[in-house]
Amino acid sequence: MTGRIHSFESFGTLDGPGVRFIVFLQGCPLRCCYCHNPDTWDVSGGREYTVSEVMAKIKSCRSYIRSGGVTLSGGEPLLQRDFTLCLLENCRAEGFHTALDTAGSVSLEHSKKVIDTADMLLLDIKSLDDKQCRQITGQGNKNTLATLDYCEEIGKTVWIRHVVVPQLTLDTERLKELSNYLEKYSCIKRVDLLGYHKMGEYKWESLGINNILKDTCEPAKSELEEAQKLFYWSKMR
């Protein structure tokens, strides 16, 4: 089996527990206005790899990732469902811990088997407000919230991610509402607020895409810390 891959990172420390080998799969159905990897959007971009080629790369890093594992990210790894599933199954057969870094943007009917197979999810919630979610990504949040419900139902460990953007999602009332909503899910073991950053802006320019956040500043460290405090309950899990 083959799939299209944007890139690899052999020593990732931010995308799941421990040191991880990260596979960034090509293709994403969303168009987040703060995306720092718009070059992953096109499912026909990147380079084609076989599962065996990817596994050979992962296995060559076995000694670094012993304490961590493998994270399948993107783009949206659920878009190439069968390839992602096959990679997860192979990783598990090799004894690697697996994490799926997803925005849950595809339907559950399509993604259930992949979710079942991963050890945990890093689930990116763009906005609890469906209208704002459409404004940010071009799609509503129905699939993402259904993905979270499914994880709760089957007891799958979830780490939530949420990008905070000044004048958009960096809003105390919205964040309180999100915190209250998430607190009831026992599958959530951690919530990370990620500050919007401008490191990917040059990619938008080089791809000729209109960047509506061109004049938006990155949040201050103190603003991010205050916002993170609203999710205090996740530190006790």
Residues 6+ apart with CB under 8 A from 198: 218
Edge-to-edge order in the sheet of strand 157-164: 47-50, 2-12, 20-25, 69-73, 98-102, 120-124, 157-164, 188-195
CA distances 145 to 106, 112, 152, 229, 230, Å, are: 11, 13, 11, 23, 20
Count the residues of the shown chain that bind ligand SF4, applying the rule CB under 6 A: 11
Instruction: Give the nearest distance from C-beta 202 to ligand SF4 in angstroms.
Output: 15
Give dist(CA 232, CA 237) in Å, integer.
10
Residues 6+ apart with CB under 8 A from 100: 71, 72, 77, 78, 84, 88, 114, 115, 118, 120, 121, 122
> For residues 25 and 73, is the Cβ–Cβ distance under 8 A?
yes
Which of 30, 65, 122, 213 forms a contact with ligand SF4 (CB under 6 A)? 30
Which of 20, 76, 104, 143 forms a contact with ligand SF4 (CB under 6 A)? 76
Instruction: Give the nearest distance from C-beta 119 to ligand SF4 in angstroms.
Output: 21
> For residues 161 and 144, is the Cβ–Cβ distance under 8 A?
no
Mark 170-199 with x for binding to ligand SF4 (rule: CB under 6 A) and - for no binding: ------------------------------
Interface of this chain with ligand SF4, residues 83 to 122, rule: CB under 6 A: 103
Which stretch, 44-52, 69-77, 177-185, 212-220, contacts ligand SF4 (CB under 6 A)? 69-77
Q: Measured from the CB atom, is 61 or 106 closer to ligand SF4?
A: 106
- Contact call for residue 70 and ligand SF4 (CB under 6 A): no
- Contact call for residue 40 and ligand SF4 (CB under 6 A): yes
Instruction: Give the nearest distance from C-beta 163 to ligand SF4 in angstroms.
Output: 8
Which of 11, 14, 18, 31 forms a contact with ligand SF4 (CB under 6 A)? 31
- Contact call for residue 211 and ligand SF4 (CB under 6 A): no
CA distances 175 to 121, 127, 178, 191, Å, are: 21, 9, 5, 12
Q: Measured from the CB atom, is 31 or 47 closer to ligand SF4?
A: 31
Q: Which residues bind ligand SF4 (CB under 6 A)?
A: 28, 30-32, 35, 37, 40, 74-76, 103
